[in-house]
Amino acid sequence: MKTAIVHDWLVSIAGGEKVLKLMHDLYPSDIYTLLQNPKNLKNTFFEDKKIHTSFIQKMPFSKKLYQKYLMLFPFAIEQFDLSQYDVILSSSHCVAKGVITRFDQLHICYCHTPMRYAWDLYFQYLHESNLKKGIKARLAQMILHYLRMWDVTSALRVDEFIANSKFIAKRIKKLYNKEAKVIYPPVDINFFEPCYKKDEYYFTASRFVPYKKIDLIVEAFSKMPDKKLV
């Protein structure tokens, strides 16, 4: 059985890439992705792996400004010829689930989340990007409208959805009308040790990106001076 793994992009190592690594550990496969940034993959699991990229890889400044090519992502992901494989595993939070497969190929998608900026965070994205008025705003709205239509249509290409949480499973059901099995992202239990002593503080660890809502956490704790946040 020949397997391919499809991931949205490989420009840094975050939670999705850790899941991708473990998928590859379980099912050693060819990796397909829109683009990669080799500089950021040095001394990582992916450094010596053969990675197939799309034409986005060769676009100007794509390694740093790849999100500027969002409108081209659906077209780019559909250009991967995966006809030689029996099983397709997609690790998707954007367009990876939209690869084109034959009717006799099995496509299983591990969905980290449907596209937040196209759905529930749509208005927040426009507001934070200062895209509420003007020509640029209308263009962004049209692009995201197109992405929503493509997102729903491309979900029909997936045979089985796997969600990383019950919350994401509910989003998949609401947006795509498909049931999803829940498999939680793996945790390195050798790295973390259980602690039975409780200290009087709260801890959060996250990248500083808007949808992680770190600002909301800080705001909440600013109203609770008796609580400590680390």
The whole-angstrom separation of Cα 116 and Cα 118 is 5
Q: Confidence class of residue 7 from pLDDT cuts 50, 70 and 90?
A: very high
Q: Are residues 210 and 178 in the same domain?
A: no
For the stretch 83-130, pLDDT in tens is 999 999 999 999 999 999 999 999 999 999 999 999 998 998 898 888
The whole-angstrom separation of Cα 200 and Cα 175 is 40
Residue 211 has pLDDT above 90, yes or no: no
The whole-angstrom separation of Cα 186 and Cα 87 is 22
pLDDT of residue 210: 66
Residue 8 lies in a domain: yes
Question: What pTM did the predictor assign?
Answer: 0.86
Q: Which amino acid is at 141?
A: Q
Residue owning tokens 């029909």: 156
**Higher pLDDT pick, 179 / 64:** 179
Q: Name the region of 105 (left: φ>0; alpha: ψ -120 to 50; beta: rest).
A: beta
Q: Are residues 31 and 117 in the same domain?
A: yes
Q: Are residues 163 and 81 in the same domain?
A: yes
Domain region containing 89: 3-182
Q: Are residues 212 and 163 in the same domain?
A: no
Q: Output the CA angle 185-30-88, nearest 5 degrees.
A: 65
- Number of domains comprising the chain: 2
Residue 189 lies in a domain: no
For the stretch 142-179, pLDDT in tens is 999 999 999 999 999 999 999 999 999 999 999 999 99
Please give the backbone phi and psi of residue 89, each rounded to the nearest 5 degrees, phi first: -110, 120
Q: Are residues 61 and 131 in the same domain?
A: yes
Q: Are residues 172 and 202 in the same domain?
A: no
Q: Are residues 226 and 162 in the same domain?
A: no
For the stretch 8-55, pLDDT in tens is 999 998 889 999 999 999 999 999 999 999 899 888 899 888 899 999
